Structure 1
C-alpha cells in the first residue's frame, strides 16, 4: 500500500532503524526525517503526509505536546521507550504505539495495523456499510433475526464462519471474523484471532483473560496493547 510518512525523533539511531524498516518492509514514501518538534512543525507548514512516526521523549517539546500542535486529523504512530504514556497517547489520532527498541516482528505487525486503518477509513463506495449502532439482521435458514448490538456478548471465529453469542441465542454467520470486525462500531474490539468482544458486556479482566457471562476469553499478545489502551481510558 502506498502511504506517505515522516519520522520525528531526536535519536539518530532510532531514526535510522525506522528508515531501514520502512525501506525493507513497505512501499511507503518517507518524506522527511525531523530531529525535533520545531523541524516537524516547519515541515507541516507546506507539506502533508498520511501519518507520522512520533517519539514522545524529546527536548523542547515532547511528542505529546507536539501532537496537540499538529494539523487536525494528523494520524500518529507514537514511538517511545516508556510504556506509561500509552493511555494518554490515544487522546490523539493514534494508530499504534511502538515500544523501543522496535523489533522487526513488532514493526511488521504495525505495518498491518496501519495499512488496515487506511483501507478501513478511506472512502470506498464498494465497501460494505457499517452495521447500525443499534441493531442488525442475521439470516438463519429462512428467518432474519433482529439482533441488538448491546445484547451481543462476543463473536467467535470458526474458519469461514463466526458464532454470534448473546444471553438468549447463538447464531452461526457465514462470514469471516475479519469481515465482521470491519463493520462493527465501538464498543466491539478484537482481542484474539478467534474473538471479538462487546466491552459493554465485559465483567472483569484477570490473568490475561476476559470474562463475559460464564465465558473465559483469552487476550492474545497481538491485540493486547490496543485493547488495554482502550481499557486504560476508563481506569480510576
Structure 2
C-alpha cells in the first residue's frame, strides 16, 4: 500500500531504525525526517502525510504537545520508551503505540494494523449506506417479554451465564451470554470489557481508562481499548 508518512524524533538512531524498517517492510513513501516538533510543524504547513511516527519525549515541544496542535484528524503512531503515556495517546487519532527499541516483529504487526485501517477507510468511502438500524427489541426475562428501546439502554453487564440489561429506570436479568448479545448489536453499542457492552450515546465522560454512564464507572480493558477509542475518534472535533 502506497502511504505517505514522516518521522518526528530527536534521536538519530531511532530515526534511522524506523527508516530502515519502513524501507524493508513497506512500499510507503517516507516524505520527511524531522528532529524536533517545530521542524515538523513547518513541514506540515507545506505538505500532507497520511500519518506520522511521533516520539513523545522531545525538547522544546513534546510529542503530546505537538499532537495537540495538529488537526484532530491527523493520524499518529507514537514511538517512545515510556509505556505510561499509552492511555493519553488514545485521546488523539492514534493508529498504534510502539515502545522503543522497536523490533522487526512489532513493527510488522504495526504495518498490518496501519494498512488494514487505511484499506477499511478507503472501502468505507465507496460503500453503500447501511439500512436503518432497529430501534427496539424484545427481551425475555422469566416468563415475560419486555419491549426495550435501544436508546434507553445504558449498558449490558455479563454475570456468568446471565446478562444484566440496565436502563435508567430498570434492570433485567437475561439468561444469555454477553457474546450472544454482542453479535446482535451494532453502533452505538460497543464491547469495552469482558463483562461490559455500553451504549456510546449514554457515555457522559471518559477518564483514566474508565467510562462514566449515569452513576456507573465501567473499566476499559486492554483487549477492547483500541476499537473503543476508534469509535471515540470518529466523534471528535
Give how far 1:196 is off. Answer: 10
Contact in 2 for aligned 1:131/1:184 (Cα 8 Å): no
Aligned pair in 2 of structure 1 residues 229, 55: CA closer, same or farther (>3 Å)? same
Aligned pair in 2 of structure 1 residues 25, 60: CA closer, same or farther (>3 Å)? same
CA distance in 2, matches of 1:71, 1:11: 25
Aligned to 2:130: 129
Aligned to 1:188: 190
The Cα offsets for residues 171-224 of structure 1, whole Å up to 9 and x where unpaired, read as 9x9xxx8xx99x655x52487xxx896256xxxxxxxxxxxxxxxxxx7x8x47
Aligned to 1:198: 197
Aligned to 2:75: 75
SS of residue in 2 equivalent to 1:68: helix
Q: Which runs of 5+ in 2 are unaligned?
A: 138-147, 158-163, 166-172, 200-220, 231-237
Aligned to 1:38: 38
SS of residue in 1 equivalent to 2:95: strand
Aligned to 1:105: 105
Q: Which has the larger radius of gyration?
A: 2
Question: 1:4-19, aligned counterparts within 5 Å?
Answer: 4-19=4-19
Aligned pair in 2 of structure 1 residues 99, 64: CA closer, same or farther (>3 Å)? same
SS of residue in 1 equivalent to 2:46: coil
SS of residue in 2 equivalent to 1:45: helix
Aligned to 2:22: 22
Aligned to 2:95: 95
The Cα offsets for residues 75-119 of structure 1, whole Å up to 9 and x where unpaired, read as 111111001111112222212111111112221221122122223
Q: TM-score if structure 1 supplies the norm length?
A: 0.61
CA distance in 2, matches of 1:105, 1:9: 21
CA distance in 1, matches of 2:45, 2:95: 23
Aligned pair in 2 of structure 1 residues 190, 117: CA closer, same or farther (>3 Å)? farther
CA distance in 2, matches of 1:27, 1:136: 47
Give how far 1:147 is off. Answer: 9.4
CA distance in 1, matches of 2:131, 2:59: 42
Q: What is the aligned length?
A: 187
CA distance in 1, matches of 2:2, 2:195: 29
Aligned pair in 2 of structure 1 residues 170, 19: CA closer, same or farther (>3 Å)? same
Contact in 2 for aligned 1:86/1:229 (Cα 8 Å): no
Contact in 2 for aligned 1:4/1:49 (Cα 8 Å): yes
Contact in 1 for aligned 2:155/2:198 (Cα 8 Å): no
CA distance in 2, matches of 1:125, 1:22: 29
CA distance in 2, matches of 1:114, 1:131: 30
SS of residue in 1 equivalent to 2:125: coil
Contact in 2 for aligned 1:130/1:184 (Cα 8 Å): no
The Cα offsets for residues 41-94 of structure 1, whole Å up to 9 and x where unpaired, read as 110111000110000000111001111122442111111100111111222221
